A = this chain, B = another copy of it.
Amino acid sequence: MAATLEMTYREALQKSLYEEMDLNADIFMMGEDIGRYEGTFKVTKGFFPKYGHRRVVDTPITEAGFTGMAIGAAMAGLRPVVEFMTMSFAILALDQIINHAAKVHYMTNGVVKCPIVIRGPGGAAKQLSAQHSHSLEGWFAHVPGLKVVAPATCEDAYGMLKSAIRDDNPVIFTENPGLYAMKGSIPDDQSFSVPIGKANILKEGKDISLIGYSRMTQVNLLAAELLEKDGIDAEVVDVRSLLPLDTETIYASVRKTHRSVVVYEDWRSGGFGAEIAARIAEDCFDHLDAPVGRVGGLNVPMPYARNLELQCIPDENDVVAAVRKLG
């Protein structure tokens, strides 16, 4: 077992990007203010000085345009890593992502590949208001042709970004602004990577399965501690990959605990948690001692005032309350 390195989620992403860019000269980065300005969330800090403007491309504020260009470059065999300043802005590039990147492999019946990674902070940061706080992973996970991942730990940020960059299909890689400064450890092993499509049990438990992804997995870990105090032994299932979705691991956990709550930051109604909950309810029907609980963001455009905003975003107490509700 290799030694480990302590670093933040942000640094884990940077390490992954550095190592992949050094390995493969076809990889380049594209995005707004990622070069000279080092990125608004500083994920790309240091890359422009090292790789220059050829491989670290500062773009105009034209999300549809530069995303489409990256897709075309990928069709020609390059391996672009596109950063959205916030994933909310991907809304402007959805046609490029969904109608072009996601479909070209199928529409050419396998002749053209589109190895592109689209990454950036998804979900609410702090008081960015209604237009800058979207969680779009559920929309992407609805689209055949895309892969969608949402790592919750430093190790997965490091290992899954490598897999995403090496993947020959378009991969949506969503980071949560609340995770960037989180510390954790990753194996000191450049050959390490985490496959796309495998969920992960972060804490074993026998009483209930707390199922989530991205930052909500961290919230579930906190909730599990609170539940511990009430003598409830919760299992924390980190979904990690929304498309493909590892139902096997999820179902195994639910069939063991017979209870589950699905937790996601996106608007509760119509978020991807609904799909996960619907599948559990259908495929684990005979194993459920209680309905599949759901905790999602309030169905509200994100308000600016901090006290209102905090209400909208699920936290560990909301999870505990949902668990209690199941009785």
Contacts and interface: CB of A to CB of B under 8 A. Distances in A.
A52 interface: no
A99 B91 contact: yes
Interface in A285-300: 285, 288, 290-294, 299-300
Interface string A86-120: 00100110110011001100110000000000000
Interface in A255-306: 267, 269-275, 277-278, 281-283, 285, 288, 290-294, 299-301, 303
Q: Which of A131, A267, A291, A293 has the most CB of B within 10 A?
A: A291
A212 interface: no
B278 A294 contact: yes
Contact of A144 (B141, B143, B267): B267
A35 interface: no
Contact of A270 (B272, B281, B301): B272
Given A91-B94, A270-B141, A293 B282 contact: yes
A64 to B, nearest CB: 8
A138 B129 contact: no
Given A267-B143, A270-B272, A106 B301 contact: yes
A145 interface: yes
A130 interface: yes
A206 interface: no
A288 B88 CA distance: 38
Contacts of A291: 281-283, 285
B277 A269 contact: no
A274 B300 CA distance: 20
Contacts of A37: none
A139 interface: yes
A18 to B, nearest CB: 33
A4 B300 CA distance: 41
B282 A292 contact: yes
Contacts of A126: none
A183 interface: no
B285 A290 contact: yes
Nearest to A245: B269
A80 to B, nearest CB: 21
Given A277-B278, A281-B281, A281-B291, A130 B143 contact: no
Contacts of A102: 301
Nearest to A293: B282
Closest CB pairs A-B (n = 8):
A142-B270, A281-B281, A285-B291, A277-B278, A274-B275, A282-B291, A274-B278, A278-B278
Interface of A: 88, 91-92, 94-95, 98-99, 102-103, 106-107, 129-131, 138-139, 141-145, 243, 245, 267, 269-275, 277-278, 281-283, 285, 288, 290-294, 299-301, 303
Given A141-B270, A142-B269, A275-B278, 12 more contacts: A91-B94, A107-B130, A107-B301, A138-B142, A138-B270, A142-B270, A144-B269, A243-B269, A270-B272, A274-B275, A274-B277, A277-B281
